[in-house]
Amino acid sequence: MHKNFKGIEKTVYGRGSFNQLGEILAPKRVENEQYFVFIVDQYFKGKDLEVRVPAEGKDLVYFIDVDVHEPTTEQIDTLRDEILAKQGLPSGVVGIGGGSVMDIAKALSLMLTNEGSSTLYQGLNLVKVPGVYHVGVPTISGTGAEVSMTAVLTGPVKKLGLKCEWTVFNQVVLDPELIASVPTDWWFYTGMDTYIHCVESENGRFNNAYSHAFAEQAMKLCRDIYLGENAGQNAENDDKLMVASLMGGLSLTYSEVGVCHALSYGLSKILGTRHCYANCLIMNHLEDYYPEGVAEFKEMVKRFNVTLPQGLAKDWDDETITKMAHVSYNLPHMWLHAIGENWQETITIDLLKDLFRRL
Amino acid sequence: MHKNFKGIEKTVYGRGSFNQLGEILAPKRVENEQYFVFIVDQYFKGKDLEVRVPAEGKDLVYFIDVDVHEPTTEQIDTLRDEILAKQGLPSGVVGIGGGSVMDIAKALSLMLTNEGSSTLYQGLNLVKVPGVYHVGVPTISGTGAEVSMTAVLTGPVKKLGLKCEWTVFNQVVLDPELIASVPTDWWFYTGMDTYIHCVESENGRFNNAYSHAFAEQAMKLCRDIYLGENAGQNAENDDKLMVASLMGGLSLTYSEVGVCHALSYGLSKILGTRHCYANCLIMNHLEDYYPEGVAEFKEMVKRFNVTLPQGLAKDWDDETITKMAHVSYNLPHMWLHAIGENWQETITIDLLKDLFRRL
């Protein structure tokens, strides 16, 4: 049984394509209560992009600070209740920001039409009816959230996505100009999310000719961007990084993430560490699992003088580490991919605790 | 203004995925007059695949011989009228075959709901309303018809596609097992369509980071398949060729075909030469335009001992060649891409006639 996956419905790619957003939304404004909800990264408050958001009439614009914590089930539920109480069902939701903002937009779209708490829908195909029309506009590239069929939420019990075909964006606007001003550290961490997606996609049981072709090309783009002659933040590389992020995400459609993401979820769930940064902290210590990928990752870290702190685990007590290990252990689809059917023979809570202690 | 393109809605990829077709169609069977139309390449009549077509109840199965001629507007109009008269509007149309069969399925889907002759809709965005649900199942890889937003038809005046977002398939089934039995000559010609798409996509004004990333990887796959250590028809390469065809098609979403396709359309329109074969006949003589691509193409021709006849033009009279040249000349989007804004300064009817005389 092969996965029958839903693709992004419409994609516009190119410098300045953000200017087309208003025109793209226009024909959808007849739907429902005839207004749009814009979820915009707080980072853009007061910046040029704020006034370029094509909000009009009774549209609602929320600036959300995603630095406080990753998207939570409670946050989505509260936002949904507030929007419905205020103006009823919107025509659609537009997320302008990074992976967190896009995940909020995707989750909100679904929760506007599905009753009860979003915690009920964390998992595969638990969502009951399609959400409202939703649009993703990445302003930082690498997470693949623009193409994925999941909206990752941290709930009281799980860090797990609302994963179904209706999660996928109806429209994506890929404008490389929007990522030009990303702070260099986050440009690095988030780009590495794509690189790590590819390493994990390639090294596991689910990899096939489809996922391989996308991962191989996304890795090539990452090498150009982070190790090539013209490495660094520049227009040419911004163009490439947007495509790499998309291809890395498409690679995962048929494959899976692995050891790094499983551990990263544990770290983020328990300590709230931001996803892409958590990945980098962990990737640094995964030579045993991905020798070539980790070696190249370290070259990239070195090339951009990125400081990845060491010795973090010495401040964590055993209870904290045990909790992290349990979150990571409970991601069987990742372990099945990375290790194989008998993954439980090698991956134990103790082994995971040891891995966390390396940080 | 950047292209806002429609992607395939759902894709299933993998060996044996054809077995999932029945299950995929099932929920759509409630639509319209509750039956499906299957357009199947005549090649499979009497073969194993014939009995595997998941037709049931009052479904209509048409085996079409696409070797007689490329899909025509008249053929689509007649088929549409016959189907509607017989059983009314179907739930959907499934095309099982190569580029011609998939183009028939796409065009038929649109013409079942759009009135009048399909000649009215040859061009960009001329189609008025969405067609019925339509599914593409390639049994030979390379044309990119599975992903393109066009259904190329030869009409009394033009060889030109019905090109709009509704042309794109709602569902594609990519089962590499289906292409295992393709006769070697057509495996070559059709695969070369992908290779030529990439050469043309890369060498022109519209190429960007998106189209480049897809073209580069599709070309790499073509090199593995047609020049690599393990070159030839085998399971590994069938897996790759299906992905290459898809990626080559996706590259064209943002770019365009060029000189080879423009000439190929002229040859096919006037003499009925099959598209992929026509491309190969022409590519052989385009060193002036694509020196590297043509050199590599010739290596592939040599590697598989493909005979591409020479001296064809000596049997064509001036009137025939003039007609071909006019068809080719009237594809300004291809010339604009390949040559640039002032293409009319270099590309003339006389020059095109000279190019055809090289064949």
Which of A5, A10, A216 lies closest to B11 in CB terms?
Answer: A5
A2/B8 touch (CB, cutoff 8 Å), yes or no: no
Please tell me the predicted confidence (pLDDT) of residue B176.
98
Given a cut of 90, is residue B67 above it in pLDDT?
no
Q: Does B241 touch chain A (CB under 8 A)?
A: no
Q: Is the torsion defined by CA of A280, A285, A290, A295 positive or negative?
A: positive
- Residue B240: the pLDDT is 98
Which residue stretches of chain A have pLDDT < 70?
A: none
For the segment B158-201, what is each residue's pLDDT rounded down to a tens digit? 888 999 999 999 999 999 999 999 999 999 999 999 999 999 99
DSSP for B28-69, please give it.
GGGSTTS-EEEEEEGGGTTSHHHHHS---TT-EEEEE-TTSS
The tokens of A316 are what?
């964590």
Picking from A70, A139, A74, the residue whose alpha carbon sits closest to that of residue A279 is A70
Of A252, A197, A195, A202, nearest to A219 (Cα)?
A: A195
Which of the four pLDDT bands, split at 50, 70 and 90, describes residue B157?
A: confident
Q: Which of A2, A8, A216 sits opposite B217 (nearest CB)?
A: A216
**Residue B69 binned pLDDT confidence (cut-offs 50, 70, 90):** confident
Determine the residue among B8, B11, B149 to mutate to test chain A binding: the one whose Cβ has the most chain A Cβ atoms within 10 Å: B11
Q: How far is A41 from chain B (nearest CA, A)?
A: 24
A13–B221: do the CB atoms touch at under 8 Å?
no
pLDDT of residue A70: 86
- In A114-173, the residues whose Cβ lies within 8 Å of chain B are 165, 171
pLDDT at B158: 80
pLDDT digits (tens, 9 = 90+) for B73-130: 999 999 999 999 999 999 999 999 999 999 999 999 999 999 999 999 999 999 999 9
Provide the pLDDT for residue A160: 86
The CA R_g of chain B, rounded to the nearest whole Å, is 20
For B316, the enclosing helix (H) or strand (E) is: none
On chain B, the residues whose CB falls within 8 A of the CB of A11 are: 4-5, 7
Q: Which tokens is B127 given?
A: 């189609």
Cα angle, residue B326 at apex, residues B323 and B329 outer, rounded to 5°: 150
Q: Across the interface, do A20 and B12 touch by the CB < 8 Å criterion?
A: no
Contacts of A174 in chain B (CB under 8 A): 210
A 179-238 → B contacts, CB under 8 A: 208-210, 213-214, 216-217, 220-221, 236
In the numeric block, which tokens belong to residue A209? 């000719």
Sheet with A159-163, strands from edge to edge, namely A123-124, A159-163, A150-154
Average pLDDT for residues B323-342, to the nearest whole number?
96
CB-based contact A247 B16, cutoff 8 Å? no
Q: pLDDT value at position A68?
A: 82
| Residue of chain A whose alpha carbon sits nearest to that of B15 | A2
Q: A247 in contact with B at a CB cutoff of 8 Å?
A: yes
Return the amino acid letter for A119: T
In B127-216, at which residue ranges do the beta strands (DSSP E only) sit? 133-138, 150-154, 159-163, 171-174
What is the rounded average pLDDT for all residues in chain B? 96
For the segment A192-246, what is each residue's pLDDT rounded down to a tens digit? 999 999 999 999 999 999 999 999 999 999 999 999 999 999 999 999 999 999 9
> Residue B91: helix, strand or coil by DSSP?
coil
Position B203 scores a pLDDT of 97
Binary contact (A20, B14; C-beta < 8 A) = no
* 3-state SS, residue A288: coil
**Which regions of A176-217 does DSSP assign to beta strands (E)?**
none
* A285 inside 8 A of chain B by CB: no
pLDDT tens-digit series, residues B23-65: 999 999 999 999 999 999 999 999 999 999 999 999 999 999 9
Quick one: fold of A10-179?
Rossmann fold (3.40.50)
Least CB-CB distance to B216: which of A214, A217, A239?
A217
Nearest CA to CA, how far is A197 from chain B (Å)? Answer: 18
* Ranges of each domain in chain B: 10-179, 184-357
Arch. (CATH architecture) of A184-357: Up-down Bundle (1.20)
Cβ of B8 under 8 Å from any chain A Cβ? yes
- Put simply, the answer to whether A209 touches B5 (Cβ < 8 Å) is no
The kind and range of the H/E element at A22 are helix A21-25
**A12 chain-B contacts, CB cut-off 8 A:** 2-5
Inter-chain touch A4–B11, beta carbons under 8 Å: yes
Q: What is the pLDDT of residue A182?
A: 93
pTM of the model: 0.96
Handedness of CA A301, A281, A249, A102 (dihedral sign): negative
Cβ contact B327:B315 at 8 Å: no
